[in-house]
Chains A and B, each alone.
Chain A
Amino acid sequence: MSSEMSRARRHLETTRKMKDMLPRFFARMFERRFSNEPLAWCMVGVPPELLKAFDLLWEWPENFGTLCASRLVAPRFIEVAEGDGYSQELCSYVTNTMGYCKLFKESGEAPPESPLPGGMGNPAMLLGSGFVCEPRWKWFQSIATRFIDVPVYSSDPLAPPWDIDPHNPRIEAHYKELLRDDLHGQVAFLEKQTGKKLDPDLLREIIIRSHTALAYWRDTLALRKAVPSPMGSTDYFSAIIPQMYMVGEEEAVEFYREMYHEVKARVDNKIGITGEEKYRLIWFGLPPWFNLGIFNYLEDLGAVFALESTYNVGDWFEVDDLNDPLEVIVQRTWQRCVKMHDYGAETMPELCNPAVFGGFSGSRLLEEAVRDYSLDGAVMHLTRSCRAVSFGEVHTKNRLAEMGIPSLIFESDMADPRLWSDSQIKTRLHAFLETVDKSKKERR
């Protein structure tokens, strides 16, 4: 199995430099962990700015899942969870954590397979988020029930369905009240657990730095409209890490600023990532973290991804009135939700993400993406254990077909390499590129 998997080859100097930057950051974090400073395990959807404002240490079990996947140790943890009764159908990020936690509890220390030295640490609290999917509701509930008995707060950001008008003031008030009260509930929980009062001035400063970094990140992604594509998916999926861990740090702003300038220079000098850029594609779904080299494999065939739907920072997060920083989070969540809703949210109704990373599948956004990024085709990863993100791919495929854009849906998983069928997937990718080639010629 392992021989079929290959690690990512990054194209940007900035993302390659992460190999120095992140260990430095993690070393600082681990030092604090050893001093027994409170650590929170968090889910994507928890605003990282808030964690930083409380000066918490935090860890993302989802990201730990991607790390375990990339080091091919996830199956070890997943099998332990399966032995405990967790179905193979359940989210492999979750089963990875459940297996890890079981081994951790049994031995009293991080399992030797952990790709992070010291593992994920001993959390003092669990901060969940119901954004995107329900496994995330059950995940921390199960951890706190079975393995680590610590307080849990799960936030509950709901969004209006696709056929309800979010511009209706009553609807806006209805949803915003829930968002606001939920966020205040989260703050009250953090104040209780940390014994600290939220400092609004500090939170405002952190949000400003966070949004500055995100604006560079967003502008970098917009540069990918250029032909040839100046960066690849391996850079993209690596570059989400600083925003997850280093939000509000000047170093994160610097990282995204530097990346922007590097990508801009590549655009100006027409530097691409492959010899001949034959096909420009969009990626849907979570990547196979255990085999990010598949993106490089496609690049060697002349196929580049100019856009990815998952973890996309998108736009519309900047808020003019920064006076009340909690209200900034409410407002940015809502305005992003409304904008995505306007693009069509029939299959991705989970639009209220209090953090900024999200995904998209809006029908009308697809039209813009195809036009602006000069797309020739779409590759969609149908992740067996994550239906929440892969749901809607058939619909997206239908919508793209109406625009004459071919799509390939292939099946595997984001963290469980046991579901990767290398020769079958590569055969399908080769056949798909032939389809794209034909379709491109027909559209000319």
Chain B
Amino acid sequence: MKRSEGSTVGGVAPPEEPTKQRLSLRVNGAEKQLDVAPWTTLLDLLRETLDLTGTKKGCDHGQCGACTVLVDGQRINSCLTLAIMKDGCEVTTVEGLARGDALHPVQEAFIEQDAFQCGYCTPGQICSAVGMLAEGHARTDDDIREQMSGNLCRCGAYPHILAAIQQARRTSAKGEGT
């Protein structure tokens, strides 16, 4: 693992006030050089420092999935991830899925199938769905239900989330065929 420079030079900071470390991230395609305290999670970095509030905090304990983002293409709970662990990584949040005005097929499908109500779990659901489809292990509807079960939706939109993922999968399959 790459070590950041100047982490504890001087060693004067009291333990309560952790020294910030230099971190490089590529967030939604943009290079970021950031000084980040080691106790800052990737989720809080995104929301509080980078103002990317699309990624949600629902529990801060890795229990609800609202904070799901893609790191190097893999879905993770950003609340359980210290930002400094991801030095040099590529992070995609819900803000980075659309291409200009053109929404990602999963985003389109979520609107069309009314796969959300309050919308708070939605960015996590969408990032999770994109990650899950890329994993390529979901063959049946039951697979999708199971593999999307790390993302809670208190509004109870699950049947429509399933329908949206099915739609997105069809759209993508067609897109690849042409």
**A and B together in one complex:** no
Using CB atoms and an 8 Å cutoff, list the residues of chain B in contact with chain A: none
**Interface residues of A, Cβ cutoff 8 Å to B:** none
